[in-house]
Amino acid sequence: MKTASLRLLAVLILALGLAGCSSDDDDPVRPQPPTADFEPGLADGKTLDDDIDVTVQAAHDGSRLALRFRWATNKNYAGIFHDVRHYDAETNTWIRPASDLFDAVAKIDEDRVALMIDHATEGLTGFADFGCFITCHSDLNRMPNATVDARHYVIPGDSGDLGSFQLDMWHWRGSRAGPMGYAEDTWVRAHEYGTGAQGRRRDDAGPDGNLRRDQAFNVAHTVTINGEQIEIDLPQYVYDPELNHDFYFLNDRNELITEANINQIFGEYTIARMEAGTLPHALIWNGPRANALAVADQTDAVKDEIAREALAGGLINRPWLVDSTSDQHDITSDRTFDFATGIWTVTMYRALDTGSVFDVDLAGLPTGSLYTLGISIHDSNDGGRSHQVSAPVTLGTSGADIVVASVSNVEAANWGSIPGYTTTTFKPGDMSYQFLNDQADGHPVAVDRDCMSCHVGFDTHPNFQPTGNCMSCHADGTKAFELWDYAPYVQR
């Protein structure tokens, strides 16, 4: 394969425009066209590690629960993509854009909100005090002393608890669930420390398969351009051009989005259309929002067109989504993003009792049972531990932090009349259950207190901030080998 000729080919194809339908007659969203000077970045006065205040509202109608989350992103755009790829002619592979590798602010990663829910009757020991920290251990992947690949898990109370259900976890993803109108249904199980536990699990898939999967790029094809045969491995899935303004790859309605003009993927013009549903931004295989084609099933002529867009630098999602009736699809969702204020509004809905052994039974909610939640916001353009977490909060119809309103239909709830509870989420850094529960060193078991109320003060710390976000200074880039190196304990 001749690299120089491929580069020339890409330039020629881009010059031709690969233009699709440009009419706005069917488009209810009419922001200004994309501007060349839009730069993905931070909201005014913010950093990626700033605390995030999230307001939570709740309602039930006797059979279903709705949880509504509102927060302002630290960025100047919405994270509605995750893991997009473009073709690299030199290696015949599909790679991430350079922004994913070198620019944390403009990285293409989805915004998310997740919560863990405790049993009401049984009550997981420690969860009311620690919240999500009870699932975070010193051996987890990306912790400073990690030697194994381990994910969220709970230390078992006894050997009989190994592998058992411990916490329900709802996970709304801006790209890998939200576009289909779902949140991912997962759970956390018990494992022993230091065993490489994969503790967070998706609910059993059932007969119709998983909610999301990652596609391969392995559909071999040979396209002839200007008499030259070019061999290329195509993706398994692309967009149906009839539903994507005549494009197989991501676009802004007028032209293909490539690494060269990737900033258009973040702008209000594009995001507004994607949020309104007039421009796809996630590959959905089936269901009412289906928009994907299986490339292997297409004719050679169609594969030729797909290859031309790929050689021109078109971007395509690696994940693809499945709409089914499986156990992973118990939580439905809707969302809006206000570009002017940077505010996400995400609502998740679930039956109080799903009948699944992998879900917490919420049937006691209308009759006064209290549940404990831990909430996390992913707004930092990174996965793993790079997210904001809350102290534990309670959910109930009375006597709770988040008071659940009774309505006739949660789908039609008047949220303007339902009180909200605002909690501050913060970067946890390398804090673990082992550290918080270290009774030998006398650590206070009180994660709902500001860390700095014990660890620092104006007289001992030059950069004291009352919000308690220690990790804004003591995080990535200044990794310590021991947790105590972040904030030596100061007895008060």
| CA separation for the pair 423, 446 (Å, rounded) | 16
- Report the range of poorest mean pLDDT among 33-47, 232-246, 252-266, 443-457: 443-457
pLDDT band with cut points at 50, 70 and 90 for residue 341: very high
Q: Is the model's pLDDT at 448 over the cut of 70?
A: no
Per-residue pLDDT averaged across 242-257, rounded?
A: 95
Q: Which residue has the higher pLDDT, 425 or 409?
A: 409
**pLDDT confidence bin for 385, thresholds 50/70/90:** low
Question: What's the rounded Cα separation, in Å, for the pair 335 and 68?
Answer: 9
Whether 446 has a pLDDT exceeding 60, the answer reads no
pLDDT of 33: 55
Report whether 324 contacts 213 (CB < 8 A): no
Of residues 35 and 382, the one with the higher pLDDT is: 382
Instruction: Tell how strand 283-284 and strand 319-321 pair up.
Output: parallel
90 vs 459, higher pLDDT: 90
Q: Is the pLDDT at 30 greater than 80, yes or no?
A: no
Give the residue-averaged pLDDT of 305-317.
98
Predicted pLDDT at 384: 62
Q: What is the pLDDT of residues 168-179, one digit of tens each?
A: 999 999 999 999
pLDDT at 452: 47
Across 274-291, average pLDDT: 93
Nearest CA among 37, 133, 52 for reference residue 380: 52
pLDDT band per the 50, 70, 90 thresholds, residue 195: confident
Q: Is the pLDDT of residue 131 over 90?
A: no
Estimate to the nearest angstrom the gap between the alpha carbon of 442 and the chain centroid: 36
> What was the pLDDT predicted at 34?
54
What's the chain's average pLDDT? 83
**pLDDT band at 382; cut points 50, 70, 90:** confident
Q: Which of 100-104, 155-159, 468-472 has the lowest mean pLDDT?
A: 468-472
Lowest mean pLDDT among 85-99, 113-127, 257-271, 463-477: 463-477
What number of other Cβ atoms are within 10 A of residue 40's Cβ?
20
- pLDDT > 80? residue 11: no
Say if residues 184 and 176 touch (Cβ distance below 8 Å). Answer: yes
| Span 90-101, average pLDDT | 92
Which range is least confidently modeled, 110-114, 354-358, 482-486?
482-486
Q: Tell me: pLDDT of 383 over 80.
A: no
- Report which of 371, 325, 397 is spatially closest to residue 122, judged by C-alpha positions: 371
Q: Any idea where the domains of the chain sit in the sequence?
A: 3-30+87-102+212-321, 52-73+111-205+340-435
Helix 300-311 to helix 3-16 angle (10° resolution) is 100
State the average pLDDT over residues 432-447: 61
- From residue 101, alpha-carbon distances to 83, 107, 172, 319, 378 in Å are 11, 7, 24, 18, 18
Q: What's residue 207's pLDDT?
A: 59
Lowest average pLDDT, out of 20-24, 154-158, 450-454, goes to 20-24
Please state which of the ranges 61-75, 341-355, 445-459 shows the lowest mean pLDDT.
Answer: 445-459
Interval 293-303: pLDDT, tens: 999 999 999 99
Between CA 265 and CA 100 the distance in angstroms is 13
- For residue 430, the model assigns a pLDDT of 67
Among residues of the chain, what percentage have pLDDT more than 90? 56
Token digits for 454? Answer: 């014990």
Confidence of residue 149 (pLDDT cuts 50, 70, 90): confident
Identify the weakest region by mean pLDDT among 180-184, 236-240, 252-256, 476-480.
476-480
Question: Please, which residues bridge with residue 94 across strands?
Answer: 87
Beta bridge partners of 424: 53
Spatial distance between the Cα atoms of 114 and 172, rounded to a whole number of angstroms: 6
Nearest-10 Cα torsion for 448, 454, 460, 462: -10
| pLDDT at res. 391 | 85
* Greater pLDDT, 456 or 247: 247
Mean pLDDT for 397-418 is 97
